[in-house]
Amino acid sequence: MTGYITKGVGGFYYVKTETGILECRARGIFRKRGITPVAGDNVRLNEEGTALEEILPRKNVFVRPPVANLDVLFIVASTVQPVPSTRILDELTAVAVYKGVQPVLVITKSDLAAADALVQAYAKSTIPVVLLHHDTGEGLEEIRGWIKGRLCAFCGNSGVGKSTLLNALAPDLDRQTGGISQKLGRGRHTTREVEIFEICGGRIADTPGFASLETQKLCRIPKEELQHAFPEFEPYFGQCRFTGCSHRTEKGCAVRQAVAEGAITQSRYDSYLAMYEEARQLKEWEH
């Protein structure tokens, strides 16, 4: 019997199977091997449907928040408070690409302030950008299209409208919408553990740990791999004068030339440089 974990609470795992959701325990072998089952894992159960026998091969896995096999990461940013940081958004998109997840940038409250700057920043990145207008519903259908047939998660600072968006996509979930705390400039946490819901012909992982301020906990990308986390760099690979070009100070760098010509956005390139410098200072064991 196979299925996928919808959530894990207090040592129990809830597995969606063809016959419904079963409550299971994990076999001791997982602990011995240092493997922790997480929401999103595809698993094989024992005949009785009471224990996890095997975790099937993962497409990817995140430790914080604990979730596996993500297909799409919606990165939600607001045009107003909390004001978006392109650096943080770039870190999140880079982590997604590095993990084999499709990033989709969702700009909320675009009716309250111009979203042009964010749209321009990603215009040449190949990363999809969805403008969301809650009053008209514009953008919701595009988001539903990305969800269909995939396992997705939403991330971004609290207060940007993630709960409001989930309510619009699946009103029956009846989620609590957390208001923005003026004191902190960001919203209050309204969810606790990772749980997966089936909506819009796909699945949504409700991931409270996916705050954009936590990018360092999500994943650390080695400096040699960082260029591959910026999709707009790819057309220029192999065109630099030097093999192993880091695209920072080398002469004859095709990526730097593309930035100078406006084919790569300056803000995205600046994020790459800052992230490279941080990765360069990491010790091997810190990755």
Angle between helices 140-147 and 162-169 (to 10 degrees): 80
- Contact yes or no for 152/48 (Cβ under 8 A): no
What pLDDT score does 275 carry?
93
* Span 173-201, average pLDDT: 57
Say if 2-57 and 220-286 have the same CATH topology.
Answer: no
Confidence of residue 182 (pLDDT cuts 50, 70, 90): very low
2-57: what fold?
OB fold (Dihydrolipoamide Acetyltransferase, E2P) (2.40.50)
For 67-216, give the CATH class. Answer: alpha beta
Helix (H, G, I), strand (E, B) or coil at 135: coil
What pLDDT score does 266 carry?
94
Position 105 pLDDT exceeds 80: yes
What pLDDT score does 71 carry?
97
Report residue 75 as tokens: 């990165």
More confident residue, 78 or 5: 5
- The three-state (H, E, C) secondary structure of 25-78, written as one string: EECHHHHHCCCCCCECCEEEECCCCCEEEEECCCCCEECCCCEECCCEEEEEEE
Question: Helices then strands (H, E): number in the chain?
Answer: 9, 15
Q: What values do phi and psi take at 273, rounded to 5?
A: -60, -45
3-state helix, strand, coil in the chain (%, to 5): 30, 25, 45
Confidence of residue 192 (pLDDT cuts 50, 70, 90): low
What pLDDT score does 176 carry?
44
Distance in angstroms (rounded) separating the CA atoms of residues 85 and 101: 21
What pLDDT score does 193 carry?
76
In the chain, where the domains are located: 2-57, 67-216, 220-286
Give strand ranges (E) for the chain.
2-9, 12-17, 20-26, 42-45, 51-55, 61-62, 67-68, 72-78, 102-108, 129-131, 151-155, 180-181, 186-187, 195-199, 202-206
Indicate the CATH number of 220-286 among 3.30.43.10, 3.30.565.10, 1.10.40.50, 3.40.50.300.
1.10.40.50
More confident residue, 216 or 1: 1
- Contact yes or no for 178/159 (Cβ under 8 A): yes
* Span 175-188, average pLDDT: 40
Helix (H, G, I), strand (E, B) or coil at 286: helix
